[in-house]
């Protein structure tokens, strides 16, 4: 008998992968963390029954959450990553040679340990520019007294459990406090198809805090519905104003992202354009 792992969305849609064997399963203080080998996508991370990433398609997600922000901030030096415990977002940020410091605030040490042990190819954990803080990002953005960041990336899971507080006005105001003038905030903003109310709320809320909050889109097979969204937020930066020097360092090494993908990803379908106003 084949073993299948399913993620179910509100008892409406189910997405399954056939599993070869389990590599890791542990209940942390915050959530249930699993890593298993799948036939289609290789090693896969799930948290509380929700797919997080897989070695087979992680580049679609990690390249898109990072590079549209990074290539529009010339000479970005300091980057804050909120969440991102699998390491893929930090890996993509650290591909930019202008970066001098990356601070990652991840709440769950178990996620980090599981990915280091079983999905080490995702991260650049030994890069000396990376500072990992195991702690509460909600408190960090409220209280940290640090030099402002050029780019802030919110690589959080769905807005439930420990990640619920990462999707509201107070948190976004904290992010704005830590972002320098001329900086960019990027975040995953759920599926515009099967999680549309959450997607719309994220973008509309960001527009009350930042002068620009533009969603953009791309494929991620692991996430039900296949189409995923991220949002680019800034008070000064045009999301289509690519800095050629910044782009040149990473474009050829990407599996998915390039300048044409960047421009096309910000095209807004008519129904979403009407709903966002």
Inter-CA distances, 94 with 63, 101, 124, 128, 182, Å: 12, 9, 8, 10, 20
In a 3-state reduction of DSSP, which class is residue 256?
Answer: coil
155 included as an active-site residue: yes
Sign of CA dihedral 10, 203, 171, 92: positive
Alpha helices for the chain (secondary structure H): 58-70, 88-93, 109-118, 137-143, 169-178, 196-206, 244-248, 259-265, 270-276
Inter-CA distances, 122 with 71, 90, 118, Å: 21, 9, 10
Distance (Å, whole) CA 165 – CA 138: 7
Strands 78-83 and 42-47 come out as unpaired
In a 3-state reduction of DSSP, which class is residue 172?
Answer: helix
Inter-helix orientation angle 196-206/169-178, to 10°: 50
CB 277: neighbour CB atoms within 10 A? 6
Single out the catalytic residue among 155, 181, 238, 252.
Answer: 155
Q: Give catalytic residue positions.
A: 155
């Amino acid at each position: 008998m084949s073993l299948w792992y399913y993620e179910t969305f509100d008892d409406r849609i189910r997405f399954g992968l056939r599993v070869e064997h389990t590599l890791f399963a542990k209940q942390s203080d915050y959530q249930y963390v699993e890593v298993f080998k799948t036939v289609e996508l290789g090693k896969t991370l799930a948290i509380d029954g929700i797919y997080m990433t897989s070695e087979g398609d992680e580049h679609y997600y990690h390249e898109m959450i990072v590079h549209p922000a990074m290539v529009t901030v010339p000479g970005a030096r300091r980057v804050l990553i909120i969440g991102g415990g699998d390491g893929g977002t930090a890996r993509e940020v650290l591909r930019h040679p202008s970066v001098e410091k990356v601070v990652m605030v991840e709440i769950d040490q178990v996620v980090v340990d599981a990915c280091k042990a079983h999905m080490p190819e995702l991260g650049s954990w030994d890069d000396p520019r990376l500072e990992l803080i195991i702690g509460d990002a909600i408190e960090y953005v409220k209280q940290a007294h640090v030099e402002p960041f050029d780019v802030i990336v919110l690589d959080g899971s769905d807005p439930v459990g420990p990640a619920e507080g990462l999707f509201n006005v107070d948190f976004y105001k904290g992010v704005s406090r830590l972002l320098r003038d001329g900086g960019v905030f990027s975040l995953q903003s759920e599926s515009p198809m099967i999680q549309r109310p959450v997607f719309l709320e994220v973008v509309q809320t960001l527009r009350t805090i930042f002068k620009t909050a533009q969603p953009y889109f791309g494929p991620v097979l692991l996430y039900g519905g296949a189409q995923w969204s991220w949002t680019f937020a800034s008070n000064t930066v045009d999301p289509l104003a690519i800095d050629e020097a910044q782009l040149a360092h990473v474009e050829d090494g990407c599996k998915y992202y390039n300048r044409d993908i960047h421009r096309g990803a910000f095209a807004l379908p008519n129904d979403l354009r009407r709903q966002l106003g």
